[in-house]
Every structure is written in C-alpha cells, then in structure tokens.
C-alpha cells in the first residue's frame, strides 16, 4: 500500500463516516431534545 492510496482511503472513509454521522445527529437531535425535557422534569 502506497501512502497516496492510504491517504485517499482514509479521507474517503472519513467523508462517508461524517455523512452518516451528520444524518444520525439530525435524526437523533429530536430524541435528545425529548430526553433532556424528561430529565429536567424528573429533577
């Protein structure tokens, strides 16, 4: 494996992971908000 190939693979994987992470955070942001409201009510 050449360094160039490793760099390309790392960046492509990071790009895919960041995309999945972005969509997951968008979907779970509502869940986290509702969880925070529940926690505040309990306290």
Per-residue pLDDT reduced to its tens digit, 2-20: 999 999 999 999 999 999 9
The two structure tokens encoding residue 21: 């992470």
d(CA 20, CA 29): 14
d(CA 1, CA 43): 55
d(CA 32, CA 25): 9
d(CA 37, CA 17): 29
d(CA 5, CA 40): 49
Give the count of domains, the chain.
Answer: 1
Q: Which domain holds residue 29?
A: 1-43
Name the band, by pLDDT with cuts 50, 70 and 90, for residue 28: confident
Beta strand extents in 2-41 (DSSP E only)? none
Name the band, by pLDDT with cuts 50, 70 and 90, for residue 1: confident
Q: What is the arithmetic mean of pLDDT over 22-37? A: 73
């Amino acid at each position: 494996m050449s360094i160039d190939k490793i760099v390309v693979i790392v960046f492509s994987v990071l790009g895919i992971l960041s995309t999945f992470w972005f969509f997951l955070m968008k979907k779970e942001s509502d869940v986290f908000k509702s969880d925070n409201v529940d926690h505040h009510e309990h306290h």
